[in-house]
Amino acid sequence: MYRYDEFDHDFVKARVAEFTDQVNRRLAGEITEDQFRPLRLMNGVYLQLHAYMLRIAIPYGTLNPRQLRMLAHIARTYDKGYGHFTTRQNLQFNWPALSDVPAILSDLASVEMHCIQTSGNCIRNVTADHFAGAAADEVADPRPYAEILRQWSSVHPEFSFLPRKFKIAVTGAERDRAAIQTHDIGLHLKKNEKGELGFAVYVGGGQGRTPMVAKKIRDFLPEKDLLSYTTAVLRVYNLNGRRDNKYKARIKILVHETGVDEFARQVEAEWADLKDTELALPQADIRAIEAYFAPPQLPDRPEDDDRIKQARLDSRSFGEWLDQNVVTHRHPDYAAVTISLKGIGETPGDASAEQMEAVAGIAEDYAFNEIRVSHEQNLILPHVARADLRAVYDRLVEIGLATANSNLITDIIACPGLDYCALANARSISVAQDISRRFASLERQREIGELKLKISGCINACGHHHVGHIGILGVEKKGAELYQVTLGGSGDENTSIGEIIGRGFGPDEITDAIETIVQTYLAVRNGGDEKFLDTYRRVGPAPFKEALYGSEARAA
């Protein structure tokens, strides 16, 4: 992974010193809250319901064990012993005191981490496929390009005060695991017919109150043009994006209102002046960054088959975990492991300090010191020898992280919701917990098959409900929580926005409603192999409406 150079260290250290001074001045009453608020947000400090919240950037979701141990240390020393991994591949602490934030930032800097640009109207943490560098279907590792974008966008003078926040995601495979079409810019790393690397560029995707699927404005952008073209997109947005209405300020609205063809024309015109400037990336620079992400030397470990077969026979639960949470690796003797942070009835994305330390230890012993955070709020060990899978599983069992539910109905994305978030209108964690308990049976989950259920506690859609196969949006109606259900959303290479199925459900009704939807799917699916999303796309909303609302649906 990328290692800070001297400049990076000095920059982050200077930023910690600057913010420490700002915090001290705020605590001393020398600056007002109005003056301080934008400063703290630039450093990832929010004020939530119960306390401050600190959002820590995890660039493209990549961590080493030292960093994860530091997060555990911070959780234990300054917070309440746990952290919350988010849909932005970041980590949030829910309880830090403002007066402790300088010390936390200093600790983070010691392991090459920070909180810069985790809030504000700037370019946020660049996200990437969590299987990057390991996936069998990958053209190339997207993370070097994410790192180039990170360096370029960090305190970028022109793009630090955009009309609204700006999110970029990169994937290096046809199978999109980074949800690039729901980002302001989505980059699909691919090869052209000559075998050269470049990107399909998508612009104007996003969720929130106006969900939109990104539009492709370029089918192939040579890799050397990454920064010049991205700059052109940002320039057109920065100049023309609406600043009069924060709800219409994202680039998706600009692209929509301008029209994709005209928007692309404006970008191309801007790019014509930029492409041959100093923003053109020299091959040597790309390859130098790429070297930081060189895959670990993976010695052949062909002894796996018999050992795994025996382990399957010894333990049914190991076999289930193997089937559900382990995926193929580009090296046949290895696998990528999903560590589910979705234990039955638990809070999606939460991990205790002890669990973080244990995962760090497993990564050191069995996974070449690499850990990833997925946007689905799980942890990933990208490189594990198949022969070591049983040992890894046993270690995960010890710390309660061996739940075999990856991509199943209990692998739920949920935002913090009204239990923590100052913006939320309804709880999402409690709904996730109820649904998780209802569908606790792994046998039943596997009968249902792949089903991505995503829950947001407000229209800002941090829980990605718009692209859930089943999406749940919590709203407040007449002082009570109400949950709207959407069906048919998807955040992959065939991204779609879910359709609202009908009137909402109260907190005591929503789990039953999900049960009804699942039962309906099982009744109408075309054989056991047809996934929920495929069934929905085939049959549409009618049978689900009928099952949920009966005569009410027919009357409508």
Partner 1 sequence: MKVLTANRLTDGEAVWYSDTNGWQDVIQGSTLAEDKTGEERLDAIGKAAFAQNLVTDVDLIDVNVVDGAIVPQRLRERIRAAGPTNRLDHGKQARAA
Which residues contact partner 1 by CB under 8 A?
26-27, 29, 32-33, 47-52, 80, 95-99, 347, 418-420, 422, 424, 426-427, 429-430, 433, 476, 479-481
Q: How many contiguous H segments (helices) and E segments (strands) does the chain have?
A: 19, 20
418 close to 474: Cβ distance less than 8 angstroms: yes
Output the smallest distance, CB 503 to partner 1, in A: 20
- When the beta carbons of 48 and 258 are compared against partner 1, the nearer one is 48
Output the smallest distance, CB 38 to partner 1, in A: 14
Output the smallest distance, CB 422 to partner 1, in A: 8
Output the smallest distance, CB 23 to partner 1, in A: 10
Residues with Cβ < 8 Å from 45, sequence gap 6 or more? 52, 53, 54, 98, 101, 115, 119
d(CA 35, CA 46): 14
Question: Helix H segments across 259-407?
Answer: 260-272, 283-292, 304-314, 316-325, 353-366, 389-398
Output the smallest distance, CB 51 to partner 1, in A: 4
Residues with Cβ < 8 Å from 253, sequence gap 6 or more? 210, 241, 242
Burial 523-539 (b: 16+ CB within 10 A, else e): ebbeeeeebbbebbeee
3-class state of residue 366 by DSSP? helix
- When the beta carbons of 83 and 498 are compared against partner 1, the nearer one is 83
- When the beta carbons of 47 and 280 are compared against partner 1, the nearer one is 47
Angle at which helix 304-314 crosses helix 389-398, to 10 degrees, equals 40
d(CA 486, CA 460): 15
Secondary element (H or E) of residue 104: helix 101-110
Output the smallest distance, CB 21 to partner 1, in A: 16
- When the beta carbons of 48 and 369 are compared against partner 1, the nearer one is 48
- When the beta carbons of 185 and 424 are compared against partner 1, the nearer one is 424
* Assigned token pair, 285: 């620079």
Output the smallest distance, CB 434 to partner 1, in A: 11
- When the beta carbons of 39 and 49 are compared against partner 1, the nearer one is 49
- When the beta carbons of 64 and 430 are compared against partner 1, the nearer one is 430
3-class state of residue 205 by DSSP? coil
